[in-house]
Amino acid sequence: MKPVRNGIPQGSPVSPILSIIYTAELQELMEQRRTQTPRPDGPRPPRIPDNPTDTLLDMYIDDGTLRVSLATLDTNVKLLRSDFIFVLDWLIGVGLSTAPEKTDLMHHSWRRDKGYSPNIRLPTGPNTEVSIAAGDTIRILGVFLDRRLTFDQHVRILADRAGNAIRGSRMLANTVKGLSQVELRTLYRACTVPVLTYASPVWWSGKKTHINILDKVQNTALRHIAGAFKTTPIKALEVDLAIPPIDLTLDLVNARYADRLHKISDTNPVIQRLPEIWRNGNPPSNPPPLPSQKPSRSKKPKKKTQLENIAGKTYSPMEGERIIPFIMPPWRKTDLDYGTRLTIIGTTPDTDKKKAARAHNARIKALRTDPANVLMYSDGSMLDDKRNSKNNVGWGVVGFQGHREVTVRRGGMGHTAEVYDAELTGLVVAAHEATTLAKTDPRIKHVYIFADNTAAATTAFEPTTTPGQYNKQTLNKTITNFLNVDPTHTVHIEWCPGHTDVKGNEHADEEAKEGALLWQERFVTMTHAMRTSKAQILKRWTDDWKRTPPTGGFGIANQFPPAWKIRDHVKNTQREVFSRLTQSRTRHAFIGEYYSKFVPTEPIECPCGEEFQSREHIIKSCTKYDAHRCWT
């Protein structure tokens, strides 16, 4: 006898899959317990009072939820108890159990008053029961749901957690030493913002109550990062640190979630609760048990649900890119399986482009001496028309065999695509043209494809659930078919420097610019949708900044418009200097001018003898700082 090693590590990605398989029988049994339609000639089932819905069991690993809805809470509790006992019996039969201390009860109601909330008695073992009272909130996958789904308590809990994180970061830096403002900003964005925005697509609908709670947390963080006073205007710090207002951050999170809806399978419960256009016109296979609106006799159009409002922030499924979650099997061949027959080479940001161009041209000169090699250059381009925000995108491809130009192609993608999409399309066309040439010329054994976009070149072969999936799948199929036909065939996808006297790349770039002028039917790419969502948030932030007059202490320095990236004066200034610089620029500093307004008990005169110590006086004329001025 020896101990058997089984199980999986904590947090393993296999856990959700195995748990679904393990509890599949329970889900099927719960499906069978649903109210069945009686046979025309059969006995009618006993009528359950209060017109209940079928009890639904939702499970995620070890977190399960039973839900039922009907007219009275007493009958509700009885049905939940009956179904809980059924689930418990199954769990005991397979060697599992429930945790009474982790079992909660919540009654959701459209009524404004808390009303009647009966307890539920659940068995915990032989001849033992526990009474569970309905709480103010119930926690499901980290979301705290209250009785009327206002999510007020959920937002307060998020604010408390984020506030604790910010207070903890104070131990890492003050206004003089410790982490720099850049590091503190990174820490806030990486560790605190995800807490503030957790599950925001569920609860964020623009409520001012929620903003007032979250604003206080972000304002505290901004003042700590900048080393500013508590009275410092927040708008000044938001622009300086490139951190947008929290309401815009939440809108951006929701917009990104809307774009991700195009990556979800049609059978996903989220898609099942959206209009039929999201399921290719098909009705939901598993419709929600309850209407999304309170019953009403009003003839006004029904108010959209939170999910429908979010889905309206992205493009229609029929007019753009749709990403399939499981497009390729896990056992597919990768580039590593082909060894040296398939090479994919990118570059690094510190590459000397001129030096790389010389090396590339020398290599191409040697490759073109062999008719077994076909060399393809692809490129993508966007028309640079600053007068038009809708700039068209195009792709271009040129191919060479020996010293002969064998193919030239170009095409347009309209204004709802990005250069990255054009680069991927160019790679697909280049691979297709090269392999087609190989079919007509048996001498061709080696295909070289060059592109000046390293992101496109290095990711194009792997059809992952990322933007451009269709192009990647097409390229993968084209290349693998070519390699599988003949073991002597090879394919090489490589980066080449752009705009540095590489003739093939320059020719492809010219074709791409011409291609951008060609008409193309509207087709929205995921890359374009994601960029547009972010650009719209920045525009709203900029418009708000423009509406704010440049007055007050920060007005003279508030000349930089909002941006997503921090500027050099934030990035390259030492912590102590940056804190003093922020205080000086905002006029909220240890000076008489500030004391006169906020701390009247402090003296307002300057140590040099000036009756009133202002910012202008210190910078321009105070004799104590004559030696530090750069002008006379």
36-45, 46-55, 588-597 — which is least confidently predicted? 36-45
Q: How far is Cα 146 from Cα 194, in angstroms, rounded to an integer?
A: 22
- On the question of pLDDT at 10 being above 80, the answer is no
- For the chain, the average pLDDT equals 89
pLDDT of residue 44: 54
Q: Which helix (H) or strand (E) holds 16?
A: helix 15-22
User: Per-residue pLDDT for 523 more than 70?
Assistant: yes
Q: Could you tell me the pLDDT band of residue 302, with boundaries at 50, 70 and 90? A: confident
Give the DSSP per-residue string, 199-244.
THHHH-S--HHHHHHHHHHHHHHHHHHHT--TTS-HHHHHHHHT--
> What angle (nearest 5°) sits at the alpha carbon of residue 571, between those of residues 220 and 562?
65
- Of 128-142, 188-202, 277-291, the range with the lowest mean pLDDT is 277-291
For residue 123, the number of C-alpha atoms closer than 13 Å in the C-beta half-sphere is 15
Q: What's the token pair of residue 113?
A: 């008053």
Among the residue ranges 110-114, 345-349, 454-458, 552-556, the one predicted with the least confidence is 110-114
CB-count exposure of residue 2 (10 Å: 0-12, 13-18, 19+): exposed
Once rounded to an integer, what is the mean pLDDT over residues 507-515?
96
Tens digits of per-residue pLDDT, 381-396? Answer: 998 766 666 789 999 9
**Where in the chain are the domains?**
15-34+50-144, 150-288+303-321+528-567, 335-523, 568-628
Contacts (Cβ under 8 Å, ≥6 apart) of 168: none
Taking only the tens place, the pLDDT of each residue in 577-623 is 999 999 998 899 999 999 999 999 999 999 998 999 999 999 889 99
pLDDT band at 496, cuts 50/70/90? very high
Residue 449 · residue 493 · CB < 8 Å? yes
Closest CA to 247 of 539, 534, 541: 541
What are 342-387's pLDDT values in tens digits? 999 999 989 999 999 999 999 999 999 999 999 999 999 998 766 6
Q: Highest mean pLDDT range out of 280-284, 373-377, 551-555, 571-575?
A: 373-377
CB atoms within 10 A of CB 3: 5
CB 128 within 8 A of CB 119: no
Structure-block tokens of residue 174: 């003050």
CA 277, distance to chain mean position in Å, is 23
In this predicted structure, the answer to whether residue 553 has a pLDDT above a threshold of 80 is no
CATH for 335-523 is 3.30.420.10
Q: Say how far apart CA 34 and CA 50 lie, in whole Å.
A: 16
